Structures are given as C-alpha cells and as structure tokens.
Amino acid sequence: MADIARYDPFRELDEMMRGLVFRPVRVPEPRIEQIKVDAAEDDKAYRISAEIPGVRKEDIKVSVVDNEVTISAEVKSQSEKKEGERVVHSERYYGAVARSFTLPQAVDEAGAQAKYENGVLILTLPKRNTTRLRKIAVT
C-alpha cells in the first residue's frame, strides 16, 4: 500500500529560500503613544494626571461635558542630523493624539483647573453636586 503525503504548494519555495538570508528593511515610523492617564478622587474633586511629553501647552485642549473628559494634543516633532554643513538625515512628524474617558460623577466645569508642567498635564475637576431635592405637590 502507498503512503499518503500531504501536498504543500509552498514546499519548493521554502526549500529555495532556505539558503538565503533575509533582513527585513523597516523604516522606523515615529510613534506617538496613547496619552497615559492616572485618576484619583476625594470627596470634592477628581485629580487627573496625563503624560503628554514634548508638547507645548498651547497645543493641548481639554474639554469637559458633564462627566466625560477629552484631552487632545497636537504633536510636532522634527529632527535633523548634519555632518558639517551637509544634511545627512531629516525627519518631521505632525499628528494628533487624544484620550476620552467617563468619570463616575458629573464635573463642575466652572471650577475646573488645568496645569501643564514637565510633560504632565494635571487636571483638578470638582464634582458637581447632583443630589437636588425636588418636592412634588400631591393634589
């Protein structure tokens, strides 16, 4: 009885390529990581720390609607390598990063504060008092 062998259409190609050494050519692309956020709270406010290194504070936007917070920033990066007066390598990157999240309780937008120092955005978001007593007249 004959042995049954599985047909592999790529076997010949694999054998032919086995002797070659491949080094993948990969051009590194500037990667901007997602904004990393730490959140803490006490009875009166939320404290948010967001890491946004290498960004000017003028390029950061924060919006708060009820309990939803959005942080966005425009990232600009430029590097140039020179040998004497001759430019050997030059790269530029322009892009945007954003992060949105929902807090458990609504925020008082009027009392919100933002400070950007050493690549860290610190938000102080006071909690809105949502427990309103509403009296209903019985007729």
Successive 10-residue mean pLDDT values, the chain, 139 residues: 69 67 53 80 94 90 92 83 76 84 90 93 89 70
Let me know if residue 41 belongs to a domain: yes
**CATH classification of the domain holding 92:** 2.60.40.790
Q: Is residue 120 situated within a structural domain?
A: yes
Total domains in the fold of the chain: 1
- pLDDT attached to residue 70: 93
- 4 occurs within a structural domain: no
> Is residue 84 one of the residues assigned to a domain?
yes
In this prediction, residue 45 carries a pLDDT of 94
pTM: 0.63
pLDDT at residue 42, rounded to an integer? 92
**Tell me, what's the pLDDT at 136?**
76
pLDDT of residue 12: 73
- Residue 106's domain comprises 33-126
Residue 49 placed within a domain: yes
Residue 11 lies inside a defined structural domain of this protein: no
User: Is 58 a domain residue?
Assistant: yes
State the number of CA atoms in the 13 A half-sphere of 89 facing the CB: 3
